[in-house]
Amino acid sequence: MNVIASRIPAVRKPLTEIDLCVWVGQAAPGDVLEYHRGFLALDTLTQGARLAERERAELARVAHRAWWAASRGMIHLVQRRHRSDEYSYLAVARPKPKQASISLSSLLLAEAA
């Protein structure tokens, strides 16, 4: 845990969905990103008063995108408890999954046909 904690970058401003996507796209295997600190389930609640509406909506998008990336095998999602109701939500980069490439020429020809 200490190893991971020392590699967590300092969070200066709330992460946005595109920030997370850029990090996922560029991270080397093993890189760690804290994409939220708090209690995600509560912080994303519409009725919750922990965050302003705009921040809550962005956090929900970030959390959804992190889940999406994990389901695609791009990252691991882990969390670290600091104290009651306060967690670090961490994304750990995985080796890039091998995707079957699609021929751009074939795709464009099929579209033109």
Partner 1 sequence: MRTSISRDDLHILLHEADVAARRLVRQLRLPRADLDDVRQDLLADLIARLPAYDPDRGALGAFAGTVLTNRATRIANKVKRERRMYGAMPISLDEPVPESDGLTRGDLTAEADGLSALFGQPVDAFAAAEHRLDVERGLGSLEPADRALCAALSRTTVDCLAASGHGARSSLYRRVKDIRLALTAIGVRAA
The residue ranges that bind partner 1 (CB under 8 A) are 17-18, 20-22, 24-26, 65, 68-69, 72, 74, 96, 99-104, 107-108, 110-112
3-state secondary structure at position 52: coil
- For residue 1, the minimal CB distance to partner 1 (Å) is 26
Comparing CB distances to partner 1, the nearer of 39 and 68 is: 68
Which tokens hold the place of 61?
A: 């998008």
- For residue 50, the minimal CB distance to partner 1 (Å) is 25
- For residue 98, the minimal CB distance to partner 1 (Å) is 9
Contacts of 90 (CB under 8 A, 6+ apart): 4, 8, 32, 33, 34, 35, 77, 78, 79, 80
Comparing CB distances to partner 1, the nearer of 25 and 48 is: 25
Residue 96 carries which DSSP code? P
Comparing CB distances to partner 1, the nearer of 53 and 111 is: 111
| Start-end of H helices in the chain | 2-7, 17-26, 40-43, 53-71, 104-112
Say which residue the tokens 């991971």 belong to: 4
- For residue 108, the minimal CB distance to partner 1 (Å) is 6
